[in-house]
Structure 1
Amino acid sequence: MTPAHFDKPSLRRQLLAARALLSPEDVAAAAAVLAGHAVALPELARAHTVAAYVSVGREPGTRPLLDALRARGVRVLLPVLLPDNDLDWGAYRGADSLVPAGRGLLEPAGARLGVRAVLEADAVLLPGLAVDGRGMRLGRGGGSYDRVLARLAGAAAHPALVVLLYDNEVVTRVPEEPHDHPVHAVVTPAGIRRFNA
């Protein structure tokens, strides 16, 4: 895919339309493969704390990875969407501890750790729709993770930034804005690709 002539909204629509064609079986099969690749990433293998998220719908599945990390003894932080679209965080304690939240999301039950809890993460899994050959990520457009990335930069925190995507979502070029940050690695069912973020 060569999206250089697309603006972000057009590219998002195109990528979401492609995801809509995936069956639940496709999503589940990809999630298992993604987890296998991701747990082998040195950045995740040596992490004590990982900030992640719970995939929903046809997003590349994170649940097998969340459970694999937790089984290893990794502290997994999950986002809690605040009314202003910023993210608070809570600890993942297993699939049965997830509760429905607004916008069809799932969040961890239990204590809230504050928006700065992400600063403790050794690695951050970022949701996305695409990444290009420079490591630039296209998000969903809500700005929540832009705030997270700005918070990390403001605190001089440098966790590994990793995106889980489907193979067709690694594209030639993602439109970027001054606030966009490159990621360090993308994990797809085909494997891992690293960037000099």
Structure 2
Amino acid sequence: MLSIILLAVALSIDACIVAFSYSLTLNKNLIKNAFIFSFSSAFFQAFMPIVGFFIMYYFGLKFIELAKKIDHFIVFFIFLFLGIKIIKDAFKNETIQIEKNLSFKIVFSLSVATSLDALAAGVLIFSSKLDILDCIFIIFVITFVLCFMSFCIAKSIKLNIKLLQIISAIIIILIGFKILIEHTIKHI
């Protein structure tokens, strides 16, 4: 059980950093946006191990190896696009354009991008013969709580909004580079 709790925390780290970073670009509806982002992130963090589990069950390691070869490129380009969008929006007008709500497209993209590594958790769960329902419940709850806390902590920071937008964009882009570099080095 401890191994699944630690796995859930590890899986949720990227989602928490993104929750923290992206919440800096919002100025209204904190609880609503925190709930939506946290729920979406937790859902995909819990859903991806199910996908990995069934891929292992039906197709074995060959499909997982293929996914590992391209997932980091997908995540990198999503994070790069979103980071550039945030920077562009920060400099759009003299008046800072802060979003009131996260759009469905952004929430979906961020949730999927931060959960792609959870596919491998399904492989771990499959090979460890752990109960998949217990595992996904723990992953869901831990991701939801940590993302919600990250989202709310970020909003308690009182700094220049334009600066925070730029910092959040840089963090998101750096996470994309980190994932790209780590996965590329593993395949060398």
TM-score of the superposed pair, with normalisation by structure 2: 0.23
TM-score norm. by structure 1 comes to 0.23
Q: Higher helix proportion, which one?
A: 2
Bigger RCO of structures 1 and 2 (CA < 8 A, at least 6 apart): 2
- In terms of fraction of residues, the more strand-rich structure is 1
Q: Between Structure 1 and Structure 2, whose CA radius of gyration is higher?
A: 2
